Amino acid sequence: MNKTLKIAMAQIAPIWLNKEATLQKIKRAIIEATESKSELIVFGEALLPGYPFWLALTGGAEWNTAVNKELHAHYVNNSICIEKGDLNSICQLAKKNNIAIYLGIMERPLDRGGHSIYASLVYIDSAGEIQSVHRKLQPTYDERLTWSPGDGNGLQVHSLKDFTVGGLNCWENWMPLPRAALYGLGENLHIAVWPGSDHNTKDITRFIARESRSYVVSVSSLMSRNDFPEDTPHLEAILQNAPDTLANGGSCIAGPDGEWIVEPVLNKEGLIIKDIDFNRVLEERQNFDPVGHYSRPDVTRLMVNTERQSTVEFK
């Protein structure tokens, strides 16, 4: 029984930049996943409370404008402070339903002062305990105008039945060394979370699976013009340049041989559920294991700093 795992990919849209409403939608997805006897549910990058789409639509790089300042403040106000218990209800639901969760959040951490935000990937185990919070190492392009760079503290893996699971956010999946760090910890089920769209998932999902000889589960959100709430600040300015579809999904699963188990699913909201078999990992590692028999640590090795970064240290 430990060699198979039922995974639910939650390809859903947020109630954009509305923390409480999006939390309720996430809870409904978790309950639905448990009804199908799923043992792990994965949500997209920054789903709670949403991706900063306005930056590309309203001149996000313009200096000192009311639009950017007011939207950023709205974003921070709807971001998640774990220390204040914002994820407690999700943790309780995980424990009640015996399900593990990977959830992409905008984190507002007190250990960095409580005013900056980080694109974080949170792992909650089936006992309802937060086991890791991985803050995205390098925000991409216009994300840097609202997100802060993270650290290596969240480069961790977790036991889930016979699997060893770890995860990265969006384009940091393209960074070879963070991937290698997770491989070195024994990862064989890689979680890649995205804001949405198959142009991100269709190539790299299979590439990482073939490189690592692991399962790779890519989960994306959805976003359309209709998903912007009417009370969003500067909504008219956002919609003026917004396409009908901002994120089309593209959630998918590749097996340890790099072939599709679930091809990218487009423009469909809901849960995508699949069983995976651990023995397939062992079969594919027979001919290639990037940190085992097909490695040369006497020639190349990676050093990783896993300290949680902070500006001050009190003694």
Residue 80 DSSP code: B
Q: Is 170 a catalytic residue?
A: yes
213: closest CA among 142, 148, 278, 158? 278
Q: Is 2 helix (H, G, I), strand (E, B) or coil?
A: coil
> Phi/psi of residue 134, each to 5°?
-95, 115
How many contiguous H segments (helices) and E segments (strands) does the chain have?
A: 7, 13
Name the catalytic one among 19, 39, 91, 170: 170
- How many angstroms separate the first and last alpha carbons of the chain? 48
Q: Is 81 a catalytic residue?
A: no
With residue 242 as reference, give the H or E element that holds it: none
Q: Is the dihedral of CA 155, 159, 163, 169 positive or negative?
A: negative
- How many beta carbons lie within 10 A of that of residue 151, not counting itself? 18
> Is the bond preceding 49 in cis, omega lying within 30 degrees of 0?
yes
Confirm if 104 and 118 have CB atoms less than 8 A apart: no
Strand partners, 224: 245
Q: Report d(CA 35, CA 29) in Å as an integer.
A: 10
With residue 272 as reference, give the H or E element that holds it: strand 270-277
Phi-psi region of 161 (alpha: psi -120 to 50; beta: other; left: phi over 0): left
Q: Report d(CA 44, CA 82) in Å as an integer.
A: 18
Q: Is 250 helix (H, G, I), strand (E, B) or coil?
A: strand
Name the catalytic one among 39, 45, 187, 211: 45
Name the catalytic one among 136, 187, 211, 284: 136
Q: Is 91 a catalytic residue?
A: no
Positions marked active-site: 45, 136, 170
